[in-house]
Amino acid sequence: MLLLFDVGNTHTTVALTRDGKMFEKYRISTKKYETEDELYVFLKSLYGGTVIEGIATVVSSVVPSLNIVFEYFANKYGDGNVYFVSSTDYNKIVWNINYPKELGADRVCDVIAAYKEYGKDCIIIDYGTAITIDVLKDGVYEGGVIMPGFAMMINALFKGTAKLPLVEVKPYDGFIGKDTESNIRIGTINATVGAIKYVVENITKEYNTPPVIIHTGGHALYVQKIVDGVVDRDLTLRGMYYFYEEKKNSAC
């Protein structure tokens, strides 16, 4: 059994897995835990009678300040081993960017899983607090794009203006709004989807053969009908598992 933590700026996905294929997972607020004991109590409330003690921990985190919590948790409740995902600790892929160490752990996981399962030519779009686009070409990671996420754009309008309301994160069926809410949804959700489509179409021109386009993350379904590709909701978790397998085998 393996315990996985995909720590995002807003939410953390917690998952238990035996084989890296099936996951018993929950999505919680990243603000829910600040100590190893709080984390343990929270996990016991989620998993009930399932044994979570004495097993290895894998962490993909974009919130470095929480790393110490997982280290303490692994030492007190786990098997003492915690594996933090990083591009510099995974040499099966060439990271052809200026500063590989700066690449977010979630993006590293996405790229690892895409390479393992979809091949050497992939464009991966992850819809989280920020939207990231990652480019894998001939088995080499060539870089990517970072955009504001859907909720971030809506919150920016709400917090940065006096009268604009906070609206639901949901695409609008059309491109001419008849009220304030529809105007905002078109200008944030629909327009961002259009930007993603434009960027992906231009990246695709860099390939000799069409790449596999993969959508993952919380809002991936919003884009599926507009931007070609497959939706793979557990891509990041499987990438974490592959990272763990590589680290475990290299230590043998």
Q: Could you state, in order of their start, the residue ranges of all structural domains in the chain? A: 2-84, 87-239
pLDDT at residue 252, as a whole number: 58
Q: Position 106: which residue type? A: D
Q: Which of 79, 106, 121, 173 is catalytic?
A: 106
- Distances in Å between the alpha carbon of 202 and those of 16, 64, 117? 38, 33, 24
Residues placed in the known binding site for substrate: 104-107, 180
Residues with Cβ within 8 Å of residue 155, at least 6 apart in sequence = 166
- 235 close to 111: Cβ distance less than 8 angstroms: no
Query: Is 234 tagged catalytic?
Result: no
Domain at 2-84: CATH code: 3.30.420.40
**Residues of the chain predicted below pLDDT 50:** none
pLDDT at residue 226, as a whole number: 81
pLDDT at residue 19, as a whole number: 84
Domain 87-239 superfamily per CATH: ATPase, nucleotide binding domain (3.30.420.40)
Do domains 2-84 and 87-239 share one topology? The answer is: yes
